[in-house]
Structure 1
């Protein structure tokens, strides 16, 4: 607690492992799905080459930042992350899963505008493009029961012994993230200079087939697409296949530098 009784702000960036020293080190900034923090990326540091430093993003309202005020606009979320990167001048790759995809896209735009570091790649997984909001009721306006059922249906929540308890702890953060995405509107969301790799689960029932192709309109650097075993939620049991695809792309990018 601070002297005034409010919770102390925790860093948004959580580092998993350290790269070997050298000018070609790459920081891989990872942003998870709605309501999640940095924890889904805890094991990634052991699965990437030693010149890649995995950094998970922990937004307010989750994990050690549970008592901090939530962010409900995409611009606030992206700028909150970019502020933590101030002073970093090395190359950066961004990864975003589901909600994290459009967040990573906006972060990449802001970093490219600032010109303080090179964005070498954006990787999205199970991620809708900016503005791709489903018709009908907005997810962040669903009742608790409806939201829980929706998350279970996509595989983002396990309806097991602890499912309801976990949902109770994360519901507010989940709603805030959906609100940030669903209220993010623009006539033109713009593009990034960096190339994009868009990954989709072969059995994804949430995003339309070939939805990853839509990312072509958001990059000047070219689009590559990949499919991996799994459904919409790829940060659980299907994570090794996803990480393998991400690493292969970053290795190829690294070799071409």
Structure 2
């Protein structure tokens, strides 16, 4: 099932009362959230964002700016009233955050209930804390080897690597070009997820996300590295299921409440 050109669904919703919109990591595609969708109960409809230039959008130009991704997804969500929650992993955390900002600023049809950000520094800290990723193939291969995950596994197949590396390079170029613009804090509740052994983002570095929302904030650390989602998937699914079930019943954390 396809919603517009941006959202993919892996199963038909059965009386779904809340939607979880998931944003992939650099080099990732909508299918990265297939297993998560299977772990969540049917009343939670998982919609995965399909960035251009991969999978069924292979022929489209890849995005040069993360802001253009956020603008397009926010526009799409405004046509499908919520409640919604957003979940973004790694680069997807930044795109999800920027989408949340646009939803709140736009005042359209989308009703945002919670933002989940995973395995990424707060965007407000990037300028001083992140060194731009070099985009040559040797550097990208070394980075994938460090981080693990499916991208690293793909490199063992030369044909797949030839397809995958240009996608990854384009995503990192967009991430390197991203600059956080100060503005209003979110009103949406914000939850940070992190891997205890992430070699790229230490859990303590993610706590600064609390300064980007006036809503409730908390942090959850799971065993594993940058792609802890693979090994900790059942625990992550339990957390999301609890939060989203509460959101659908109207008993979720209140937007704009003190943190």
TM-score when normalising by structure 1: 0.86
In 2, distance between residues paired with 1:64 and 1:84? 18
Gaps of 5+ in 2: 253-259
Equivalenced residue count is 245
Q: Partner of 2:143: helix, strand, or coil?
A: helix
Alignment match, 2:98:
106
Matched, 1:60 2:52: yes
Matched, 1:75 2:67: yes
Alignment match, 1:33:
25
Alignment match, 1:7:
none
In 2, distance between residues paired with 1:83 and 1:26? 18
In 2, distance between residues paired with 1:169 and 1:243? 31
Q: Deviations along 1:61-80, whole A, 9 cap, x unmatched?
A: 11111121010112111112
**TM-fit CA distance, 1:164:** 4.5
Q: Deviations along 1:152-209, whole A, 9 cap, x unmatched?
A: 1011433577354433212222222222222222451542111111011111111134
Matched, 1:218 2:233: no
Distance 1:230 1:85, change over 3 A: same
Distance 1:136 1:198, change over 3 A: closer
**TM-fit CA distance, 1:146:** 1.0
Structure with the higher helix share, 1 or 2:
2
Between stretches 120-129 and 82-91, larger displacement belongs to 82-91
In 2, distance between residues paired with 1:239 and 1:51? 18
Distance 1:105 1:178, change over 3 A: same
Is this contact kept in 2: 1:198–1:225, CA < 8 A? yes
- Pick from 114, 125, 140: which aligns with 1:147? 140
Distance 1:112 1:135, change over 3 A: closer
In 2, distance between residues paired with 1:188 and 1:114? 17
Matched, 1:42 2:34: yes
Q: Deviations along 1:129-162, whole A, 9 cap, x unmatched?
A: 21425768521x3310111111110114335773
**TM-fit CA distance, 1:243:** 2.2
In 1, distance between residues paired with 2:188 and 2:181? 21
In 2, distance between residues paired with 1:21 and 1:160? 37
Gaps of 5+ in 1: 1-9
In 2, distance between residues paired with 1:164 and 1:226? 37
Matched, 1:128 2:121: yes
TM-score when normalising by structure 2: 0.85
